[in-house]
Chains A and B, each alone.
Chain A
């Protein structure tokens, strides 16, 4: 029982990070119909910004904020400078470009910061809470991860549902031409969409790094999991991304605990991906019917 509770708790915490990463992918897919393979690299780069600042003596929270801000800037710059040129073109162009960015950013960070493992601090304790004489797998830092992702999602939902900018962003994402005819600055909204997505991606990167090691390739596995979570949720649905992330986190946690340990976790993620694509190709929360109308 205790093992089950612990497995579930760590699965939820993991899943939250997957969810954040998947959410970043979904934000971009929804607005530009591009799968941003460079998301992981971008998040890694901004986490390195935070690391450099922390090593320079900055307070964790200041560095945390700086990472998110640099994520915002990086996302906007990437969209304006690179993605704008392939938007609306053949899909393959965008795939190649984001894959190219993925490699280029990773290489650039490796050149600047080196590829050694460096430890990244966690803002809160890494020892589990104790209930009676049992220590559970929920650590203060994991609580922080869960809360941080939930707050971010709440803010995003509020932005999209209740603000004028959010409405303009949704209009630009769902009906580019109509939105332009209605006076919405679609280009600006797409840039903003990429910038926000990069902030959420950066959040995922910095959260997963907390209390662990960072190196230029440390996000690679998260990219796979985040992508699986996004596809699980249907790529088009922010709620789907969150649910997909949590489901995947739990599934992988159970696999790791009960079916053969951490070595089969990656395999399990890919099996889940294949099964979802076979059984429900649109994802669990697909809204393709709405889109076709």
Chain B
């Protein structure tokens, strides 16, 4: 299945199988192992939440997957293709969009320019695609010519998600999108994410410290502790497992 997996139009149903597969990944910062043998898969049409406390290795995991940090060993497969050693810049052309922690807007550029940067690698992109992002996030419309540093936290999160969507990814990596946002905005953004995943068969790998919100929107949950996977299960099952929740998720 791997070799025949073609980047389908959004909305078409794909054959089963993982969009992203991580095998036995190990990442170190000097003598410290941030990721210690993690394996996981993220399937199309599903939200896979990676949960765990501060320092569990969630962000390191995403940064290794997208190539910002090089792993010591293990492999990352995107639609069956080994991308472990691929350059960061090439990941987005391969169908992976990574929204880093801290709402990676480019503060000096305007909202519209931020969106245009997201579509640069695709060459000419029709205005209608930008309009679609603005339809998705109407609050961005009136801010479109303002520099991104004038946006509120929620608006920034909308901007970076919209920008990532302009890359037409098959897998979206989201790092702590709820950080510092009001619960109402978090619910709104997660709800929208759910819609996109259901409608377009996008695969989302969602890293969250806010486990309760994340599990409420996710299909699958993966719990990390000190760089290792301690549990992988249906989001509902994890939600029901009180011992696990108390031990690792803090609620």
Interface residues of A (CB under 8 A from B): 164, 167-168, 170-171, 174-175, 177-186, 287, 289-291, 293
Given A164-B120, A168-B117, A182-B118, A175 and B104 contact (CB-CB distance below 8 Å): yes
Q: Are B117 and A290 in contact (CB under 8 A)?
A: no
- Give Cα A181 to B89, complex, Å: 6
Q: Are B121 and A183 in contact (CB under 8 A)?
A: yes
Q: How far is the CB of A166 from chain B (nearest CB, A)?
A: 10
The 4 closest A-B pairs by CB, nearest first: A183-B121, A293-B149, A175-B106, A183-B92
- Please list 7 pairs of residues, one from A and one from B, whose beta carbons are closer than 8 Å in the complex, sorted by A's number: A175-B104, A177-B100, A181-B88, A181-B99, A184-B89, A291-B108, A293-B107
Most chain-A CB neighbours within 10 Å: which of B89, B113, B118, B147? Answer: B89
Main secondary structure of the interface of A (DSSP, over half): helix
Which residues on B sit within 8 Å (CB–CB) of A177? 68, 100, 104
Is B196 interfacial (CB-CB < 8 Å)?
no
7 extra interchain contacts, Cβ-Cβ under 8 A, other than A179-B117, A181-B92, A182-B117?
A: A167-B109, A167-B117, A170-B109, A181-B98, A181-B104, A183-B90, A184-B89
Q: Are A182 and B92 in contact (CB under 8 A)?
A: yes
| Closest chain B residue, CB of each to CB of A161 | B113
Which residues on A sit within 8 Å (CB–CB) of B89? 180, 183-186
- Give Cα A287 to B150, complex, Å: 13
Given A167-B113, A290-B149, A182 and B167 contact (CB-CB distance below 8 Å): yes
Is B116 interfacial (CB-CB < 8 Å)?
yes
Q: Are A171 and B106 in contact (CB under 8 A)?
A: yes
Number of CB contacts from chain A to chain B under 8 A: 78
- Interface range for B: 20 to 34
Which residues on A sit within 8 Å (CB–CB) of B107? 174-175, 290-291, 293
Q: How far is the CB of B101 from chain A (nearest CB, A)?
A: 11
Which residues on A sit within 8 Å (CB–CB) of B109? 167, 170-171, 174
- Give Cα A175 to B147, complex, Å: 14
Q: Are A180 and B88 in contact (CB under 8 A)?
A: yes
Instruction: Please provide the chain B residues from 62 to 93 with a CB less than 8 Å away from any CB of chain A in the complex.
Output: 66, 68, 88-93
- Give Cα A175 to B50, complex, Å: 26
Q: Are B93 and A183 in contact (CB under 8 A)?
A: yes
| Closest chain A residue, CB of each to CB of B68 | A177
- Give Cα A181 to B147, complex, Å: 20
Interface residues of B (CB under 8 A from A): 66, 68, 88-93, 97-100, 104-109, 113, 116-118, 120-121, 147, 149, 163, 167
- Give Cα A9 to B89, complex, Å: 49
Q: How far is the CB of B93 from chain A (nearest CB, A)?
A: 6
Given A177-B68, A181-B91, A183-B167, A168 and B120 contact (CB-CB distance below 8 Å): yes
Which residues on A sit within 8 Å (CB–CB) of B163? 182
Q: How far is the CB of B96 from chain A (nearest CB, A)?
A: 9
| Closest chain A residue, CB of each to CB of B90 | A183
- Give Cα A164 to B105, complex, Å: 18
Q: Are A179 and B106 in contact (CB under 8 A)?
A: yes
Given A167-B113, A185-B89, A186-B89, A174 and B167 contact (CB-CB distance below 8 Å): no
Q: Are B108 and A290 in contact (CB under 8 A)?
A: yes
Which residues on A sit within 8 Å (CB–CB) of B97? 181
Q: Are B117 and A171 in contact (CB under 8 A)?
A: yes
Q: How far is the CB of B137 from chain A (nearest CB, A)?
A: 18
Which residues on A sit within 8 Å (CB–CB) of B93? 183
Which residues on B sit within 8 Å (CB–CB) of A170? 106, 108-109, 113
| Closest chain B residue, CB of each to CB of A181 | B98
Given A182-B117, A184-B117, A293-B149, A174 and B106 contact (CB-CB distance below 8 Å): yes
| Closest chain B residue, CB of each to CB of A289 | B149
Most chain-B CB neighbours within 10 Å: which of A182, A287, A290? Answer: A182
| Closest chain B residue, CB of each to CB of A186 | B89
Which residues on A sit within 8 Å (CB–CB) of B116? 167
Which residues on B sit within 8 Å (CB–CB) of A164? 120
Q: Are A290 and B120 in contact (CB under 8 A)?
A: no
Most chain-B CB neighbours within 10 Å: which of A171, A180, A181, A289? Answer: A181
Q: Are B106 and A181 in contact (CB under 8 A)?
A: no
- Give Cα A23 to B226, complex, Å: 49
